[in-house]
A and B are shown apart, each in its own frame.
Chain A
Amino acid sequence: EVQLVESGGGLVQPGGSLRLSCAASGFKFDDYGMHWVRQAPGKGLEWVSGINWNSGGFGYEASVRGRFTISRDNAKNSLYLQMNSLRAEDTAFYYCVKDIRGSYYGRFDYWGQGILVTVSS
């Protein structure tokens, strides 16, 4: 059974940093691209970032480019999102999502349950 479990969320002040982690199990992690998708409370879905199976390619949504960094450790079956210079508008549930392909432009497959990041003073 595929499982994606996010951790590392919480309350952070504007301008602060946070690192999200996603522990993957139930599939061969290093064969697949991975994503972070977020959803502000009561709002719609927004793709944040994606990464290829071997970290050889990645992409970012425009508003997070230069502030967020996606990475993965295939030996640990883990996906990460380093978030710096956080803003109030980054407040959202962050979902870890598996792609059906080795790239990050296949399609979304399995989703984690999400973790809340709140940016507030």
Chain B
Amino acid sequence: SYVLSQPPSVSVAPGKTATITCGGNNIQTKSVHWCQQKPGQAPVMVVYADSDRPSGIPERFSGSNSGNTATLTITRVEAGDEADYYCHLWDNSGDQWVFGGGTKLTVL
């Protein structure tokens, strides 16, 4: 089955840019989505279809997808962005949704 790899943790200072990667075999051919989960809360989509933002999500959140890596970028990071972030996609060949292991973003 298709495997997505994320770094377990990323740390960034307030006001700086956070980059969270999601690796997968030729992932550029797939549509990658990202959700944010804060402690004790249900996940919330922050980027879908590689680089689109749902309504209500700040422009500080953006995504890209090329080669074997999809990337979630958060600019001007705020304390409120501290959360777990999960990439996920639909795997046609496996007929299933696949999640990455998640990345804990810590705002220093």
Contact = CB atoms under 8 A, between A and B. Distances in A.
Same assembly:
yes
Interface of A: 35, 37, 44-47, 50, 59-62, 95, 105, 107-109, 111-114
Interface residues of B, number: 24
Contact of B48 (A61, A107, A111): A107
A108 B86 CA distance: 12
B42 A108 contact: no
B45 interface: yes
A-side binding surface: helix, strand, loop or mixed?
strand
B-side binding surface: helix, strand, loop or mixed?
strand
Contact of B45 (A46, A50, A107, A113): A107
Contacts of B98: 47
A47 B97 contact: yes
Contact of B90 (A60, A105, A111, A112): A105
A108 B96 contact: no
Nearest to B45: A108
